[in-house]
Structure 1
């Protein structure tokens, strides 16, 4: 199925595509993403509930000192991955905001230019209609409108 990746990328914001590409290029970031993804899932919760239950029932007679140490160390590492994820999200949001700002400024400039062009054409059309002269294209002004001009009788 050719072109599906390009089609999928076309449905995403350009910053999303660039962000995914840059993260996929770095092995450390891929590992951090995989750990964060797993640590934020229900299988992670189930695995820990089962492991801690088995530990308390079968591994040690007095599981609390060692289990507390293990859980504390795990919490330290997992909180680091949470912070990595928050930093990644903040970086992504800033890149998207910067991209959106540039795009909105371009749209504003384009809309302003179009509005000025429409105003100039409307002003010129009004001038020609009111003066009753033909322009360079051979289109008649007000005089050729004759009876079709509002306010003029037959």
Structure 2
């Protein structure tokens, strides 16, 4: 497949395999599609989160709060409008509530993306494990047919077996529970 004609990536790097370039293009296309499919609420949440996470936001607050404090301390000659700073505290509290909500919305969406990537990685790993298992079985059969002694590799019979992911997950949970109970015994 010629990358220069089949994808937006026009110049093909001589140091990179075409499959790598194809995968990069596929991932970028998927991200572009996800960005285009975002709803208005997600776009607003992203923009608010991006802005509130910027230094400009910090500078605006630094200037605004400084002026508010200086005015209400009577240092500017302007009329004092919040001598006890109750309004400033209320404003800051309400703003914090909204900002934390926007951050949580963004984090929830990021977590959903991370979960999807983790699922994809697991599927790819399971596929790779299955393929390697089949390759080991094939190479073992070839070695046997050629009369190559594989007695020095006793783990081959185990490696030729497919891994059952549910059993691995169960074993991980069982081991965690054993570890937790051992820690409780030692610390308790």
Is the shorter-chain TM-score for this pair beyond 0.5, marking a shared fold?
yes
Structure 2: how far apart are the matches of 1:119 and 1:35? 59
Aligned to 1:130: none
Aligned to 2:34: 22
Question: Alignment partner for residue 45 of structure 1, among 58, 63, 75?
Answer: 58
The answer to whether the 8 Å contact 1:24/1:30 transfers is no
1:108 equivalent to 2:135? Answer no
Question: How many residue pairs get matched?
Answer: 124
Higher helix share: 1
Please report the RMSD computed on the Cα atoms of aligned residues, expressed in angstroms: 3.0
Aligned to 1:33: 46
Q: How far is 1:9 from its partner?
A: 8.6
Flag the 1:107–1:47 CA change in 2: closer, same or farther, 3 A: same
Structure 2: how far apart are the matches of 1:20 and 1:83? 23
Q: How far is 1:67 from its partner?
A: 1.3
Aligned to 1:61: 80
Secondary structure of the structure 1 residue equivalent to 2:80: coil
**Greater relative CO, 1 or 2 (CA 8 Å, sep 6+):** 1
Structure 2: how far apart are the matches of 1:61 and 1:69? 17
Structure 1: how far apart are the matches of 2:68 and 2:132? 67
**TM-score, normalised on structure 2?**
0.56
The answer to whether the 8 Å contact 2:52/2:99 transfers is yes
- For structure 1, the 5+ residue unaligned runs are 128-154
Flag the 1:36–1:17 CA change in 2: closer, same or farther, 3 A: farther
Q: How far is 1:17 from its partner?
A: 5.9
**TM-score, normalised on structure 1?**
0.67
Deviant stretches of 4+, over 6 Å: none
